[in-house]
């Protein structure tokens, strides 16, 4: 959109043409209906051209009207020159050849006529150049504005992803703590309780000692409380592999075969989140566009990479350009050092590869 | 567009004073005595032309009212093009004016004396002047924000145009200097066309008709721009 204070070349052109038309009317001073009819036809054409975008062929009509008017009144030649400005403004350079006979039909030696024609031609050419440059500038502005909006949208998405990752990290940490409590502390306490009960069966006199009873009840209570704490600390919401599996199980558009292999517990929260997003995007596209009858999902993890492959036998868009969702995912994955590729051959295949660092994983 | 046409017609017919002006006042013009020495009722037609200017203005006030009440904003969001909205309204106004012109013309032909050529050219001249009046009203309303301002300025401008154009009195009494200025007014070409019709200058009358159409095109082209305030 143009800046409100800009003066467009079109405004200048039609402003000048209007002034010349009014001036021509004053020069012609038409009293006869025929002359005024020609003038008003020219004025109507000018107004219609200002209001609507007319085809260049209408310029011939202008030329005919101005030419006819010039036959009646010589001073109407001024309007014919305005027609020359219009032709050149529209970029029809060969129109100059149309005006040579106009000059010749008049006084061929008239320098003033030649000067006016030259002035009109140069004005038209300059206005044409100005218009082209303004159009190019406006186009660049629109492109930049579109890019700014895209960047803004991407920034929002990144903020949302960051929030989601923080939340998932907290869940994973809680899971880890619960597991550590269960595996380490829980086992120690259970071992101590079992040892105490074994001692009790061997030494009957320990049964009557109050400290021994207190110790046993405290240990029993500690084990119970630890179990409850572990149960409360474990997150109810699934994350990581469980979340991916529940997403696959909830897919019901068509039969789906899922295979996984490799050390899946070494995949990090960020990678799980990325894989989940890619899978969601692939499923959405299958739902919306593909009309697939079968989907295959493979998750492979090895020492070097984490790879997710989604294949379906549905239709795919012939367009080379992916949807905005996949384009955004591709940028994110490439920022992580991975890749996202799509093959639209016999079967639609989406392959997401992420680098796998051995020091990564849920811990 | 049919819906818009029907609605515009309904709204126009609900303006009782306008309808009264449209059909009662022309009768007064017809019964007015003609000046001596005039072959045809040029003055009657001239006064009717002045009435047409005001009737068209009153009919077209719906366009400025729609803008004042912000109805035009709601219409812009509706699935109707601005072109269809405008055409519907203009056709409604033209239908009413065509009925008025036809009734007046029939009445004058029956009751008044004049050459046949005057009456034969009078009807198309009146119709083309009506079209020009509607376009002028549309253009005029597009220049102002409120109806009150629009009518206040138009009352003066329309009367001036009628006086300078020779509609209120015969053209022969118009001074030459004023005549050279009056040529830019559509009212001049209407009055001139009526005089030429009396003199049986058919080609020149046709040119006057065409000039009126030219004015109508110019006013319509400018006045058809959509404004929201």
Residue bearing the bigger pLDDT, A101 or B144? B144
Q: How many CB atoms lie within 10 A of CB A75?
A: 14
Contact B170, B42 (CB under 8 A): yes
pLDDT at residue number B105: 93
- Average pLDDT of the segment spanning A41-45: 88
Predicted pLDDT at A292 = 82
Q: Are B6 and B83 in contact (CB under 8 A)?
A: no
- Is residue A360 scored above 60 in pLDDT? no
Q: What is the pLDDT of residue A353?
A: 93
Of A265 and B102, the one with more pLDDT: B102
Size of interface A-B (CB pairs under 8 A): 43
- Residue of higher predicted confidence among B102 and A176: B102
Chain A residues in contact with B204 (beta carbon < 8 A): 33
B211 vs A37: CB contact, 8 Å cut-off? yes
pLDDT band at residue A358 using 50, 70 and 90 as cut-offs: very low
Q: What is the pLDDT of residue B201?
A: 82
Q: Closest Cα to residue A168, out of A275, A63, A293?
A: A275
Residue A363 — very low, low, confident or very high, per pLDDT cuts 50/70/90? very low
pTM comes to 0.69
Average pLDDT over residues B153-181: 84
Chain B residues within 8 A of A48 when measuring between CB atoms = 217, 221
Q: What average pLDDT does the segment A74-102 reach?
A: 78
Q: For residue B104, is pLDDT > 90?
A: yes
Phi, psi of A355 (to 5 degrees): -70, 140
Give the residue, A91 or A358, on which the prediction is more confident: A91
Residues in A touching B214 (Cβ below 8 Å): 37, 40-41, 43-44
Please give the distance of CA A334 from its chain centroid, rounded to a whole number. 17
What was the ipTM of the complex prediction? 0.86
* Statement: residue B149 has pLDDT above 60: yes
pLDDT for res B187: 93
Q: For residue range B47-78, list pLDDT tens digits in order.
A: 999 999 999 999 998 888 888 888 888 888 88
Q: Partners of A341 in the beta sheet?
A: A351
Nearest-Cα residue of chain B relative to residue A38: B211
Say whether pLDDT at A318 is over 70. Answer: no
CB-CB contact of A351 with A340 (8 Å): yes
Residues of A in contact with B211 (CB under 8 A): 33, 36-37, 40
Does position B118 have pLDDT exceeding 60, yes or no? yes
User: Mean pLDDT lowest for which of A252-261, A311-320, B80-89, B101-110?
Assistant: A311-320
Q: Which of A36, A48, A52 sits opposite B183 (nearest CB)?
A: A36
Tens digit of pLDDT for each residue in B213-222? 999 999 999 9
Could you identify the residue written with the tokens 């992916």?
A322
Mean of the pLDDT values across residues A157-164? 86
């Amino acid at each position: 959109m143009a800046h409100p204070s800009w003066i467009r070349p079109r405004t200048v052109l039609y402003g000048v043409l209007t002034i010349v038309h009014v001036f021509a009317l004053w020069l012609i001073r038409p009293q006869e209906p025929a002359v005024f009819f020609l003038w008003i036809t020219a004025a109507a054409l000018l107004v219609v051209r200002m209001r609507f975008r007319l085809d260049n062929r209408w310029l011939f009509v202008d030329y005919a009207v101005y030419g006819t008017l010039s036959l009646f009144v010589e001073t109407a030649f001024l309007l014919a020159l305005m027609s020359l400005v219009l032709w050149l403004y529209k970029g029809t350079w060969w129109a100059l050849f149309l005006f040579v006979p106009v000059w010749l039909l008049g006084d061929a030696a008239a320098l003033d006529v030649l000067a006016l024609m030259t002035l009109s031609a140069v004005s038209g050419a300059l206005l044409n150049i100005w218009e082209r440059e303004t159009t190019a500038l406006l186009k660049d502005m629109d492109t930049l504005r579109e890019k700014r909006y895209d960047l803004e949208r991407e920034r929002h998405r990144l903020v949302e992803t960051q929030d989601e990752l923080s939340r998932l990290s907290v869940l994973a940490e809680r899971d880890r703590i619960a597991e550590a409590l269960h595996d380490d502390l829980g086992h120690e306490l259970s071992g101590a309780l079992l040892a105490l009960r074994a001692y009790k069966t061997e030494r009957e006199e320990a049964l009557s000692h109050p400290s021994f009873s207190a110790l046993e009840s405290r240990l029993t209570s500690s084990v119970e409380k630890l179990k409850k704490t572990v149960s409360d600390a474990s997150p109810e919401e699934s994350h990581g592999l469980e979340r991916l599996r529940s997403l696959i199980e909830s897919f019901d558009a068509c039969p789906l075969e899922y295979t996984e292999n490799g050390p899946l517990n070494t995949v990090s929260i960020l990678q799980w989140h990325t894989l989940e997003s890619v899978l969601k995007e692939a499923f959405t596209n299958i739902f919306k566009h593909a009309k697939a009858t079968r989907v295959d999902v493979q998750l492979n993890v090895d020492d070097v990479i984490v790879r997710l492959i989604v294949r379906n036998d549905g239709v795919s868009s012939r367009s080379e350009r992916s949807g905005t969702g996949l384009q955004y995912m591709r940028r994110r994955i490439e920022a992580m050092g991975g890749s996202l590729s799509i093959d639209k051959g016999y079967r639609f295949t989406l392959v997401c590869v992420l680098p796998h660092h051995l020091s990564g994983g849920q811990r | 567009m049919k819906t818009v046409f029907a609605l515009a017609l309904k709204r126009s017919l609900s303006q009782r004073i306008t309808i009264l002006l449209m059909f009662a006042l022309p009768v007064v013009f017809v019964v007015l005595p003609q000046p001596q020495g005039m072959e045809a009722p040029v003055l009657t037609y001239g006064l009717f032309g002045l009435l047409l200017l005001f009737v068209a203005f009153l009919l077209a006030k719906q366009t400025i009212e729609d803008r004042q009440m912000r109805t035009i904003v709601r219409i812009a969001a509706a699935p109707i093009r601005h072109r269809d909205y405008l055409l519907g309204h203009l056709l409604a106004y033209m239908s009413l004016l065509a009925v008025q012109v036809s009734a007046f013309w029939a009445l004058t032909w029956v009751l008044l004396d004049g050459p046949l050529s005057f009456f034969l050219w009078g009807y198309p001249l009146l119709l083309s002047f009506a079209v020009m009046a509607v376009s002028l009203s549309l253009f005029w309303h597009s220049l102002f924000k409120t109806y009150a301002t629009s009518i206040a300025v138009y009352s003066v401008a329309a009367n001036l145009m009628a006086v300078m154009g020779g509609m209120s009195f015969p053209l022969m009494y118009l001074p030459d200097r004023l005549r050279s200025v009056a040529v830019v007014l559509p009212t001049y070409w209407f009055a001139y066309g009526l005089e030429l019709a009396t003199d049986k200058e058919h080609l020149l009358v046709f040119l006057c008709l065409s000039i009126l159409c030219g004015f109508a095109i110019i006013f319509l082209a400018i006045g058809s721009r959509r404004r929201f305030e």
